Structure 1
């Protein structure tokens, strides 16, 4: 009987120890607007999640929910993650901003991080990347490589982040090719392969031989490949499956270092609510391999532009620049301030069409 009691005590102690280990794990949640297999935006965020797992091993547990619509559904999912014991929750789309803020107010002991927004609270930070720096590089390549002088741009949601990208690409295409025109099609979705493909085909039918996109699937590159003699760029991830086809470079969003650092801060008890906006220099924005489809001199110029931005020697929004209506914006040598860029709601001079409201 004594042996049985000792055995039972040992089993109980082992169970208690196992429970303690489980409780010691930091639980990190991720909410995604698209599927993890989208090949673009959500795929790269999920690569960041996997990097957290690899870095911390059994010290963390990660959970995620994919294809969560922006709006009330997002608030439900975020609340559920908090109720299930998440210590840190990353919500990775602009439309999750208010739902995240609402849930953060109800769970003061949980840390929240919202991507691409502008609101914070004591337990809610925000973070984004200066994608416009990569768009400047893409614009330079596009302006040099277009033969038709028509560049197509697929816009997702008309928020400042997307408008900045259009402006940055156009400014740098126009610098190297004064005859260039941009045609913009809005699909009003972040991820909808069918709409993205239709938009790409419509732009190609209008004479575009370069397709840029701020949408999350590889459908525009597939349409470019089908059309032939049309080039495009990977968006948010490398989209390397098209590297032997129309993809000549890419913007890669590298979230892993940020996710690891913020998880570590929660573990250390040093987490603070901050607003982070990093670009090429810290490595949050990467320029994917520029292929041999791009002439050597153009590639060299594009890489020099990238290095100049990274070094802080050049800012993609440097005057003289006017707004679309012809009014002055930036004087010669003047650089746009972050406040204006974060709230950008206008096109620069030379772009046609209106920004949807």
Structure 2
């Protein structure tokens, strides 16, 4: 009878799931929110899973080493959560065909490697609209990380909202070439405010810009997680990534054998992008309109990347009546009309 218990014990082995983060889980932004998703997996599956995470992983050779180590140590499913992890993930996936991999924000795939991304530009459009209505200086700031399509399209979406709802507003962009560097982010925020910017958006992961705005009486928009606690007066809204549902569904699929390498794109409609609330100082009619825009994004009646759209050199990029597909947005390498700057090389 004892021998019969051995297969049951093996059947009960937990699924080992690994997560690779570009920043610390204490960044209160991107990596923090992915880790909240990991914790939701643990809560949902209990002892049926065992999760591992590695934080502060540099993009490049270090990432490849970390990903390979997870694959070698028996992990059945590995999530890599930054654009710069794409090629290292693909290389390791080809070396470990029995392991399932999913890469966030990338576009390369393999038989055992899928992708997943949330349409953060939807939240940025709402943030751009609200910023356009509350600014007094008509100067909006954007702290940008790296000039990759995800960041460029989000900047573009903010400009599209400004153009539509407050053409007098000007978007100022500072590139910090980092996902997480509180010092650089604070310096960028202060430099912007020195130039008269009174609303700051960011595509970086610490709450430093929010804290700087709070100190100086400006507004700011939270990135990836709810940053309201870091600037109760400054906080206009946060564009929050909810990764838990995707992680839970993916683990379920691996467990029941239905997982295939797919390209998952989810946004407000699916609950992957959420705006939890608005600053009480925002006029009621602005909040009402913002909520209408959110519902429009969910039902498809509002789509920022609808032609005619020109780039900031005056060239028609999207004809009237045409909508950019997500495949187009994955390759976005141009600024829309209205942005008075060039994309760094």
CA deviation vs aligned residue, 1:285-344 (integer Å, no higher than 9, x gap): 111201212110111111101100101112111222211110112233332222221100
The residue number in structure 1 matching 2:273 is 285
1:249 to 215, 237, 248: 237
CA distance, structure 1, for counterparts of residue 9 and residue 320 of structure 2: 64
Give the Å deviation of 1:243.
5.5
Whose radius of gyration is greater, 1 or 2?
Answer: 1
1:175 to 158, 164, 178: 164
The residue number in structure 2 matching 1:233 is 221
TM value normalised by structure 2 = 0.97
Structure 1 residue 266 corresponds to structure 2 residue 251: no
3-state SS in 2 of match to 1:37: helix
CA distance, structure 2, for counterparts of residue 183 and residue 284 of structure 1: 28
Give the CA RMSD over aligned residues: 1.6
CA distance, structure 2, for counterparts of residue 313 and residue 295 of structure 1: 24
1:312 to 300, 310, 335: 300
3-state SS in 2 of match to 1:348: coil
CA distance, structure 1, for counterparts of residue 106 and residue 317 of structure 2: 24
CA deviation vs aligned residue, 1:226-269 (integer Å, no higher than 9, x gap): 111x1011100111313622111111100000000000111011
CA distance, structure 2, for counterparts of residue 27 and residue 248 of structure 1: 39
Structure 1 residue 135 corresponds to structure 2 residue 135: no
CA distance, structure 2, for counterparts of residue 282 and residue 21 of structure 1: 33
CA distance, structure 2, for counterparts of residue 299 and residue 28 of structure 1: 40
CA distance, structure 2, for counterparts of residue 293 and residue 285 of structure 1: 23
| Residues 214, 231 of structure 2: 8 Å contact kept | no
Unpaired runs of 5+ in structure 1? 1-8
The residue number in structure 2 matching 1:187 is 176
| Residues 141, 173 of structure 1: 8 Å contact kept | no
1:201 to 190, 202, 208: 190
TM value normalised by structure 1 = 0.93
Across the two proteins, how many residue pairs are aligned to each other? Answer: 345
Q: How does 1:59-208 map to 2 (within 5 A)?
A: 59-208=48-197
3-state SS in 1 of match to 2:336: coil
| Residues 113, 126 of structure 1: 8 Å contact kept | yes
The residue number in structure 2 matching 1:20 is 10
